[in-house]
Amino acid sequence: MTDSGRGIRVPATWWPAMLATAYAVAFVLVYVVSVRTEQGRLVSDAALRGAIASGSPIRDTVDSVLDVVSVGSLLGAVAVVAVIALLRLDRIRGLAAIGLLVVANVVSRVLKSYVLERPDLGLDEIGPATLNSLPSGHATAAFSAVTALLIVLPPAWHAATALAGGGFATVIALATMFAGWHRTADAMASFLVVGVCTMVALSVVAAYAEPRPHASAPVGLRWWLVVSGASLAIGAALGGGLSTLAPVRDSLAGGLLAFLSAGLLIIGTVLAVLAGILWVLGVNEAEGGRPDDRVRLSG
């Protein structure tokens, strides 16, 4: 509804729904392009070859990084979230965050093992042609822990936690590629799955959580979006270029360029999802998390 001189007012609970839809559409796009198209598969395979070649000298470090993510670490994340929510006397946010952790990881496992297929396109790939690895369980676990923390932590901690957590999730995603476990799209899809589940959790927070009495100033997201957009654009351009240059793509240098493209796409996806989460968190804080509140956008 437009109110002249006073801007546009949108129900606060709409933002999670709109962003969840956007993340879901992006997930489908990532899956179709990277798994169902020949060019997407070839570029993805080149990136995996480049990652394995790059990761050989640091294999012990890669294994140590991947060992951080386990069932035990997930249970630890649940415990940390529960303790923070208990200390802050915030039952709704605590339950929403724990639900997010559980649902995101279950959904990721179900999608990978039972729903999504990887058709045999007759290509010569480094990994099994029909073994679906999308989305990545490691990336899902790491990123869901980050977004769950964002839900229960005080607003003043959001920006720093998102930055550090996004970096952590990116390192885990790249480590799975160094190890030859996952492809570029596997990590991107994981972040989008977590994004959808986080928006569902935040819709619960928006509808039922008690308002916080001392909300901090909203996080400035302009540079998050600029860096995300630039990373996605450059990564997509590199990948698109390699898809049309088979001799370059299939060389060692082409594999390294494809891995660079993969890194940019992963970083861009992490930042885009986190920017949406930080935006909705800011909306919830500003509006008190009540279903009748509205978000004001400058007109």
- pLDDT of 226: 96
pLDDT tops 50 at residue 4: no
**DSSP string for the chain:** -EETTTEEEEETTHHHHHHHHHHHHHHHHHHIIIIISHHHHHHHHHHHHHHHHHHGGGHHHHHHHHHTSSHHHHHHHHHHHHHHHHHTT-HHHHHHHHHHHHHHHHHHHHIIIII------S---SS-TT----S-HHHHHHHHHHHHHHHHS-GGGHHHHHHHHHHHHHHHHHHHHHTTS--HHHHHHHHHHHHHHHHHHHHHHHHHSPPPSSPPPPPP-HHHHHHHHHHHHHHHHHHHHHHT-HHHHTSHHHHHHHHHHHHHHHHHHHHHHHHHHHHHHHHHHHHTT-TT-EEEE--
Cα(76)–Cα(72) distance, integer angstroms: 6
Distance of CA 26 to the CA centre of its chain: 11
- pLDDT of 11: 63
Structural domain contains residue 262: yes
The label of the residue with tokens 């559409």 reads 25
Structural domain contains residue 219: yes
- pLDDT of 14: 87
pLDDT greater at residue 144 or residue 122: 144
Per the document, the length of the chain is 299
Structural domain contains residue 30: yes
The residue-averaged pLDDT of 209-229 equals: 75
Per-residue confidence band for 295, with pLDDT thresholds at 50, 70 and 90:
very low
pLDDT, tens digit, 9 for 90 and up, residues 89-116: 889 999 999 999 999 999 999 999 999 9
Cα(136)–Cα(116) distance, integer angstroms: 12
- pLDDT of 296: 40
Number of domains making up the chain: 1
Structural domain contains residue 5: no
Per-residue confidence band for 213, with pLDDT thresholds at 50, 70 and 90:
low
Structural domain contains residue 298: no
Nearest CA to 19 among 148, 203, 284?
A: 203
Per-residue confidence band for 277, with pLDDT thresholds at 50, 70 and 90:
very high
Cα(11)–Cα(203) distance, integer angstroms: 11
Structural domain contains residue 1: no
pLDDT, tens digit, 9 for 90 and up, residues 21-79: 999 999 999 999 999 999 999 999 999 999 999 887 888 888 888 888 887 888 898 89
Count CB-CB contacts under 10 A for residue 25.
Answer: 11
Structural domain contains residue 153: yes
Comparing 156-160, 204-208, 274-278, which segment has the lowest mean pLDDT? 204-208
- Domain boundaries, position 80: 10-293
Average pLDDT, whole number, for the chain?
87
CB 188 within 8 A of CB 239: no
Q: Which amino acid is at 287?
A: E
Give percent above pLDDT 90 in the chain. Answer: 63
Q: Which amino acid is at 121?
A: L
- pLDDT of 254: 86
The residue-averaged pLDDT of 214-236 equals: 83
Cα(77)–Cα(163) distance, integer angstroms: 18
Structural domain contains residue 299: no
Per-residue confidence band for 177, with pLDDT thresholds at 50, 70 and 90:
very high
Comparing 85-94, 240-249, 257-266, 284-293, which segment has the lowest mean pLDDT? 284-293
Comparing 1-15, 153-167, 265-279, which segment has the lowest mean pLDDT? 1-15
Per-residue confidence band for 252, with pLDDT thresholds at 50, 70 and 90:
confident
CB 149 within 8 A of CB 198: no
pLDDT tops 50 at residue 7: no
- Mean pLDDT: which of 128-142, 162-176, 198-212 is highest? 162-176
pLDDT tops 70 at residue 241: yes
The CA-atom distances, in angstroms, between 177 and each of 146, 163, 194 are: 20, 21, 19
The span from the first CA to the last CA of the chain, in angstroms, equals: 11
- Extract the tokens encoding 289: 């998390």
Nearest CA to 259 among 109, 27, 119, 54?
A: 54
- Extract the tokens encoding 264: 């940019």
